[in-house]
Structure 1
Amino acid sequence: MSDEGGVSPEVLRMIQEAQERMTEELFEEMLRSQAHVEPDDLNVLLDVLALGITNSAWRNSCVENWHAEGRLSDGDMMRINTYTTDGVRRRLTGWTTEFGVTSASSAALEEVDGEDADVLAGRLFRWLTNPGRKLPVGMTLGELARTKEDLNEYEDHADRSLGAFVGQMEDRGVRFGLLRTACHGALACAQWWLHPTWPDRVERFVSVLDSPTDTHWGPDGAWRKKLGAEPPSVHDRGVLRATLLKAPWKLDGGAAEWITSAGIGYVQAAVSAEAPSATTSG
């Protein structure tokens, strides 16, 4: 005998039990032990929360299909994903300030209610899906989507993702929902800009650029040799470091393409060996 959607009562029970085991305390422990993120630090929590929202509501959508189709290169994705993460982070800052969350401790999020979360989701949805939103690669979202059908597909995805984001806060409390999404960002996006390990990754990456025999480049530096000449904007290591740390979306197209080809998402030594790996890059 099955329940709704053909799912057996036993499976539904297992799902319910798994959901009940998810608590704020569990997410806090995961952030500390697996991602080396301090969940009580509001600024750090909002950083990884922005990663989780961006990955769910933007990156893991038909946008990735557009990337696979060739509408966007790897360098384009790096610039657009970091720009989008920054936009989400800015809106999180505005939202917390507006609703009185000014403490450095994330415990203040307990004072926020479900209606406040609806406000945040609405703002994020309108910004993310605005067809006139100018992307750092020079086109608008509408131009990237190309057709009304493709734009609608993305809007539907963003609506579902942000709806689920708000739904978990309505069911279990705002801080629970924020911690859950922050865990997603911290664990799935460990190679992205704004993750706490990003500064170490940048330092390591910049250092290997001038070390052609470094293990990052593989046996005999084969990977480095295949890259070809560096774009002019990569030559000044200080400027490159500053741009990668503060605003990677401001890289020119050639530099972004070269940097992603050079494997900035794969450098390892300066990033904590205990930090989780990820399959995506920002």
Structure 2
Amino acid sequence: MSDDPAVEVASPAGPRHRPTRDRENAGTGVRHARTGTPVPRLEREIDMTMLNPQLVRECADAVAAVLPVPGVAGEHLLKMLADFGGVDTLDSDQVLTAAAAGMWAQWVRNTDIWENAHAGGRLSDGEMFRTNAASVLAIREALAGGSTWEHALDLVTSSDRVLPDGRPLRKMLPSAHKSGRVHDYATTAARRWDNRISDSGLNPLAAYLAVGAAGAPFTSDWHGMPKWEPRVRQFVAALIEPEHPHWGGTLAARLNAFPGELVIPSLEATLLENPAQLSADVASWCVSTCALGYLAVTPG
């Protein structure tokens, strides 16, 4: 697994290094990754109920200054959240969900071990769908309850964690060693962010914006993200439209493949509330048989 570029700060000379305090200035103690100049301290503590454009922009600019990606500015992070994720950065619920989704996507879902388990058949598309939903909800709830990022990732990558299909994580992955690697990678990445927040003086909102923006290209249509509800609404509407272009004339066959009796209002409610509560067969029907994720969603 490669290091997550949003976790450590790269020096202008190339090698990665941890942020250090600059005791001779009143800034955050973090040096700009490219210029070496101190990053100004944000004077206000985070209050997710009092977001305003100035605070959000200050936070985005502050964290962009220490990311090891050349040319990234705060406005780019905010644009990624808005354009990819549909996130309103003045909505604290959306920011928190985007951050939770970004953590899970970058530090677990998109790792080589997790993806190999998926590709190798140990985690079907339906189970990936349910597991993503359950994991993001768990991380979000932990963060909302005051947990550190490390603790939130520890909860969802513990080898004893029970997945929606009833298996403990260690049974899904091919060995305890690989299970441990996923846990160590995720919690180490999260701990680095925890340390950066506490040691550097960065407003915690800055870190939420950064990790949410980094994950947005992968998580924009996940459960809980702003684009999820329109997808679900249009999907269930299409289930009674045989001529909908998504089906290509195959709706009847797909409906016949539904495991049990299809009650559309119940399916819609579960998809919106928590897809992890779907049965394994219904989840597979949604994402594999009906290609829920490939539905072309009409804006508005």
Same-fold call, TM cutoff 0.5? yes
How many Å separate the matches in 1 of 2:86 and 2:159? 37
What is the correspondence of 1:159-170 to structure 2 with a 5 Å cutoff? 159-166=187-194, 169=197
The partner residue of 1:184 within 183, 203, 214 is: 214
| 1:248 is the counterpart of 2:275 | yes
Pair 141,264 (structure 1): closer, same or farther in 2 beyond 3 Å: same
Tell me the equivalent position of 1:71. 122
Looking at structure 1, the residues matched to 125 and 83 of structure 2 have their Cα atoms a distance apart, in angstroms, of 31
Query: 5+ unaligned residues in a row in structure 2: which ranges?
Result: 1-9, 16-32, 36-67
> Cα offset for 1:59?
0.7
**Please, what is the CA RMSD of the aligned residues?**
2.8
Q: Give the superposition deviation at 1:172.
A: 7.5
Q: What displacement does 1:29 show?
A: 4.1
Percentage identity across paired residues of the two chains: 28
Number of the residue aligned with 1:260: 287
- Flag the 1:256–1:231 CA change in 2: closer, same or farther, 3 A: same
Give 5+ residue unaligned stretches, structure 1. Answer: 1-6, 96-118, 273-282
TM-score, normalisation: structure 1: 0.74
Q: Contact 2:85–2:221 (CA<8 Å) still a contact in 1?
A: no
Q: Within the alignment, does 1:123 sit opposite 2:151 as a pair? A: yes
How far is 1:260 from its partner? 0.6
For residues 205 and 50 of structure 1, the distance between their equivalents in structure 2, rounded to whole angstroms, comes to 25
CA 1:31 to 1:238, structure 2 compared with 1: closer, same or farther past 3 Å?
same
Is the Cα contact below 8 Å between 1:201 and 1:271 reproduced in 2? no
- Paired residue for 1:275? none
Q: C-alpha deviations, 1:218-255, integer Å up to 9, x for none?
A: 3xx2476467521225x101100000000100111110
CA shift digits 1:68-124 (9 cap, x unpaired): 1111111011111100011011011101xxxxxxxxxxxxxxxxxxxxxxx612312
Measured in 2, the distance between the counterparts of 1:268 and 1:168 equals 40
Count of matched residue pairs: 238
Structure having greater relative contact order (Cα 8 Å, sep ≥ 6): 1
**What CA distance in whole angstroms lies between the structure 2 residues aligned with 1:143 and 1:269?**
36
Higher share in helix: 1
The TM-score normalised by the length of structure 2 is 0.70
Distance 1:21-1:224 versus aligned 2 partners, 3 A rule: farther
Deviations 1:131-164 (A, max 9, x none): 2111111111122124221112212321343245
**Structure 2 matches for 1:105-124, cutoff 5 A?**
120-124=148-152
Aligned residues of 1:24 and 1:179 also touching (Cα < 8 A) = no
User: Which residue among 191, 204, 216 is the counterpart of 2:246?
Assistant: 216
Query: Are residues 1:144 and 2:151 paired?
Result: no
Show the counterpart of 2:87: 37
Corresponding residue for residue 53 of structure 1: 103
Do the aligned partners of 1:35 and 1:187 also contact (CA within 8 Å) in 2? yes
Counterpart of 1:276 in structure 2 is: none
Structure 1's 228 and 90: CA in aligned 2 closer, same or farther, altered over 3 A? same
